[in-house]
Chain A
Amino acid sequence: MLLLASPALLVVLALVVVPVGWFLGLSVYDGGFTIEHYRRIFVEDVYWRSFALTFRIALVVTAGTLLLGYPVAYAAARLARPWDVLILLCVVLPFWTSVLVRTYAWLVLLQRTGLVNQLLTGLDLVGEPLALVHNEFGTVVAMVHILLPFMVLPLYAAMKKIPDELILAGASLGGGPMHVFRRVFLPLSLPGVVAGLTLVFVLCLGFYITPELLGGGRTIMVSMVVSRNVELYNQWGAASAVAGVLLLAVLAVFFVVGRFLPLDRLLGQK
């Protein structure tokens, strides 16, 4: 057994254990053993604000992708042949274009003289163009768009696994469409919801390009703190410490969530 698993173990060792161990090592060893980098994170306000901002954006974006993604996945899972493919194509097509391109596209759309502001001022809905970008709002909008496929695809996969017969059975037993959705479809789609939430939330925490370009220099997420420490100050130790704290924070979040949500029941019906 161990022999059969050894290639997989080697890959995990080479790609996960070694790099993570390496940067964790860097965070406590800077010419000698030190906890200075960690101390700075816990006392300096900048770090705290960045962590709080990162988790807030991650929560909002994750919620946003769920709200937008659930109906899309539902439609794709329940509609007949040409339509389901069309919807999935619309979801996946942007997925195949570069994040950078999509981020710049949002910049074009949301800037002061962008399409959205032109429309709003043209219709006299607002007097002055709105500040839609170079702030947290623009960052969130673009991140929701970019991360949407990571929500829709697991949702779709889970919904596709719900047998049609169960929906028919629900109706035949007297359940109206809303009742069947609430009591049968929704609970059975929860594994997809949990998978999508996890995926999007984790991706949000480490997101870099979009907040960097659309945040206007004020939306400093943790990934940007790491990058600045390396590129501006050449502080590998500080950068590693920030990354280490982020990793710990994520693990803590999942530990707490796991304690309160019956994940076993949601993910595997056994």
Chain B
Amino acid sequence: MAEAVGERVEISEASKAYGPVVALDRVSLDVAPGEFVSLLGPSGSGKTTLLGILGGFVQPSGGSIRFGGRDVTWTPPHKRDVGIVFQNYALFPHMSVGENVAFPLRARRQPRSSWGERVRRTLAMVDLTGYEDRGIHQLSGGQRQRVALARAMVFEPRLILMDEPLSALDKQLREAMQIELRQLHRRLGATIIYVTHDQREALTMSDRVAILRNGRLVQIDRPDRLHDHPADSFVAGFIGEATLLPVARIDDRTVSLAGTALVTARPVPAGADLVLAVQTEKLLLEEGPADGRNRLSGTVVDTVYQGESLRVFLRLADGTGLSLRQPSHFEAVRRIPGVGQPIALSLHPEDTIVVPRTEG
């Protein structure tokens, strides 16, 4: 089971229009065998439509889908060999856990004698050993989630699609399941395409994250690259806790933020409508000599304690609002000035991220 090789998925120019409404607009995306790719976007961004097209429930208006080189654009769902985990699990309420997990085997006319062992092994992988005879109604949300997962992987599909599978769970369980899913993905070797609107979840689990907006693919990249090199102000605002501030271009490596010149490590993009994306964790309380770092100064407006960190809200001289995060250990907290006190900040040129403003 562990050695299954993932499917290569090639999506080219996939589109879907519902009457005059364009849900998906010529999205092209290649997913490597065994890769974990998240489709991330706000509601209405087209991510669920794209998943529906991959699963075979939604007929694309244009474009094509290939699994491992075969064109499956018009293949019905039951012939695609894709495991799908639905948002509300979609477990069959009239079947036991074991019958649910055996469903794909029965549907595929696998010999009945092989079911027990495969169901048992798959349930063991999701930590539900011995749950075969339980009814679905006897399970907790987290356990149902695991049964849905087991059912989607018992037939060893080379591609698994997941539609916000963790959204119904509470935060702690969700974060534990994220780590578990990651480890499970490594063991299975299957390709996973995962739909979510939770950027943290996408960054935690994925090899690459595809960001969708208004039916278009805005950017697809590794989580760290997405965070540090957003394509435009939409991505910069969607990932992390960025404050977006309008800046003016001075030259290829310098911009002006309300009269203060800031140096950037990467070339400033062309165009007049530029935005500086300041992530809360990149802004530091100033220490020692400048060392070529950008300097900013302002006044503390508020300090909010959030457990493992504090968020400090401040105002620059011209009234621009900004915020930064400090870990909540003694040394760091001690350096935060009181409310109304001046605060000196630095921003490294590598962290000085200037992006074009997204139109619309």
| Chain A residues within 8 Å of B, Cβ to Cβ | 163, 165-166, 168-177, 179-180, 183-184, 187-188, 269-270
Contact = CB atoms under 8 A, between A and B. Distances in A.
Interface string B81-107: 111101010111110000000011011
Given A168-B55, A188-B92, 10 more contacts: A166-B90, A168-B77, A168-B90, A170-B92, A170-B103, A172-B56, A172-B57, A173-B155, A183-B103, A188-B94
A169 to B, nearest CB: 4
B106 A183 contact: yes
A175 B110 CA distance: 12
B104 A174 contact: yes
A269 B94 contact: yes
B137 A172 contact: no
A174 B78 contact: yes
B81 A174 contact: yes
Contacts of B104: 173-175
12 contacts: A166-B90, A166-B92, A170-B92, A171-B57, A171-B77, A173-B78, A173-B83, A173-B155, A174-B104, A175-B103, A179-B107, A270-B137
B276 interface: no
A171 B81 CA distance: 10
Contacts of B57: 168, 171-172
B152 interface: yes
Given A165-B88, A168-B90, A175 B107 contact: yes
Contacts of B90: 163, 165-166, 168-169
A170 B86 CA distance: 11
Contacts of A172: 55-57, 77-78, 80, 82-84
Contacts of A188: 92-94
Contacts of A173: 78, 83-84, 103-104, 107, 151-152, 155
Contacts of A169: 84, 86, 90-92
A171 B88 CA distance: 16
Contacts of B88: 163, 165
The secondary structure that dominates the A interface is helix
A171 B86 CA distance: 12
B137 A174 contact: no
A177 B86 CA distance: 19
A171 B107 CA distance: 9
- Size bracket, chain B contacts: 20 to 34
A171 B108 CA distance: 11
A173 B154 CA distance: 10
A169 B161 CA distance: 12
Q: Which 10 A-B pairs have the closest CB atoms?
A: A169-B90, A175-B107, A171-B77, A165-B90, A174-B107, A172-B84, A173-B104, A171-B78, A187-B94, A174-B108
Contacts of A175: 78, 103-104, 107
Contacts of B91: 169
Contacts of A166: 90, 92
A165 B89 CA distance: 9
Interface in B52-84: 55-57, 76-78, 80-84
B97 to A, nearest CB: 14
A187 B94 CA distance: 7
B76 A184 contact: no
B244 to A, nearest CB: 38
Most chain A Cβ neighbours within 10 Å, of B106, B107, B108: B107
Nearest to A168: B57
Contacts of B103: 170, 173, 175, 183
A33 to B, nearest CB: 52
Contacts of A165: 86, 88, 90
A179 B137 CA distance: 24
B137 A269 contact: yes
Contacts of B135: 269
A174 B155 contact: yes
A177 B77 CA distance: 10
A179 to B, nearest CB: 5
Most chain B Cβ neighbours within 10 Å, of A163, A171, A188: A171
Nearest to A174: B107
Contacts of B86: 165, 168-169
A168 to B, nearest CB: 6
A203 to B, nearest CB: 28
A241 B207 CA distance: 79
Contacts of B151: 173
A40 B317 CA distance: 107
A184 B104 CA distance: 12
Contacts of A163: 88, 90
Most chain B Cβ neighbours within 10 Å, of A166, A172, A175: A172
Contact of A176 (B56, B78, B92, B155): B78
A174 B101 CA distance: 12
Nearest to A165: B90
A180 B104 CA distance: 11
